[in-house]
Amino acid sequence: MSLNVISGRDPVTGTSLSVEVDAGRIVSIQPGPEGETAWISAGLIDLQVNGYAGYELNDSELKPETVVALTAELHRLGVTTFVPTLITASEEQLVARLRCIAQARKSDPLVAYSIPYIHVEGPSLSMEDGPRGAHPRAAVRPPDLLEFNRWQAASGGLVGMVTLSPHWNTAAAYTKALTAQGVHVCLGHTDASAEQITAAVDAGAVLSTHLGNGSSELMQRHHNVLWTQLADDRLFASFIADGHHLPSAALKAMIRAKGIGRSILVSDVTGIGGLAPGTYQSAIGGSVTLAADGRLYLPGTSYLAGSATPLTATIGKAIKLAKLTLSEALQMATVNPGQFVGGRGILRAGASADLIKFDWSPEVDNIELHAAWVNGRAIELLPEGATRSRK
């Protein structure tokens, strides 16, 4: 690969930058040239992806090709690193999906690069309707280190993040054991007590998974899972800023409580994302409806069934909903999640060349992607007006 110069405006300072790339790495970053209008940023990092564009990781018949195709779809959106997220399922199903993702990584170096590890969301979540969300109750079970070891044996140690509810008696010991192996333990889909949450954080839990969702609809006003997690500065928090999971005031107040430096945007997008509105059979929630406004829900209930909005499209929404600057929203989708994937998400000499170039102005809802590079490789974007068909 020859030397390539990619320029654009830095969202932090507003001034132009020229990024020199060689052999997949950023060689140098220089000021200029003047007159750039498009923005430049590190590629987006999504810690919670179930699927997109008809490719669903929680499908019972998951194939390595699906993982490869999903990776390509996300690259075209400027998501250069993502963490495949498997929801609660039987051990047999989880192991089959873990194996499949591991195979996909082996088949393609760019897929291996873009998938640093796998996030298992569950199966040790709350049993209760509400906090459990769309996870199947029958497959919810207590934390089991021996089962975790079998996941790792099946996937070649690819599980790097686990979300659990800390209400289980063994949650703290399990958290400690996983943390000691370098696995990020996250709290979510829970109605645990303050003491149980604090015990899990003491044991090493580092992140609140999609805070404000996966919790009871009604809760005690002072003693509840939200305040405890918001007040604990040891926890990062991820948020789904698709405009459906959290109203503006809740998102804004929660990000302010956590601070920009500890807030992360995740998509939680499922295989239904990117498809036309309608009712689908989804691996997450069964029969689900995607409304024209992008809301993805279980018909006849108030429960959401994941999101249909990819991370790229949540940047503009987060800016509007939480009154963020472009630079703050990007920090929450690059540098901050990057701390969970080995320090990616920063434009600096020596880093892998994961870059996006895009248009954005406060008047528009969405960032408009012009170009993306993954590990120095230019990605071919979808032609404008291209539509997707259900796989």
Nearest approach in angstroms of CB 284 to Zn ion is 9
Tokens matching residue 278: 């309608």
Q: Report the DSSP beta bridge partners of residue 8.
A: 17
Nearer to Zn ion, 214 or 337 (CB): 214
Nearest approach in angstroms of CB 134 to Zn ion is 8
Instruction: Please state, in angstroms and rounded to a whole number, the distance separating the CA atoms of residues 78 and 379.
Output: 9
- Region near Zn ion per CB under 5 A, out of 138-146, 214-222, 238-246, 254-262: 214-222
Nearest approach in angstroms of CB 163 to Zn ion is 7
Instruction: Please state, in angstroms and rounded to a whole number, the distance separating the CA atoms of residues 230 and 222.
Output: 12
Ranges within 329-388 binding Zn ion (CB under 5 A): none
Tokens matching residue 212: 């404000």
Tracing tokens 């999971």 back to the chain, one arrives at 245
Which residue of the chain is nearest Zn ion when measured via CB?
A: 214
Nearest approach in angstroms of CB 326 to Zn ion is 27
Nearer to Zn ion, 54 or 214 (CB): 214
Instruction: Please state, in angstroms and rounded to a whole number, the distance separating the CA atoms of residues 243 and 313.
Output: 10
Nearest approach in angstroms of CB 245 to Zn ion is 10
Tracing tokens 């990024």 back to the chain, one arrives at 19
Is the separation of the CB atoms in 347 and 41 below 8 Å? yes
Buried-state track 94-103, b at ≥16 Cβ within 10 A, e below 16? bbebbbbbbb
* 194-213 footprint of Zn ion as x/- string (CB under 5 A): --------------------
Q: In what order do the strands lie in the sheet with 296-297?
A: 278-282, 286-290, 296-297
Nearer to Zn ion, 196 or 307 (CB): 307
Nearest approach in angstroms of CB 125 to Zn ion is 8
* 37-76 footprint of Zn ion as x/- string (CB under 5 A): ----------------------------------------
Tracing tokens 């805070």 back to the chain, one arrives at 211
Residues lying near Zn ion in the complex (CB under 5 A)? 214
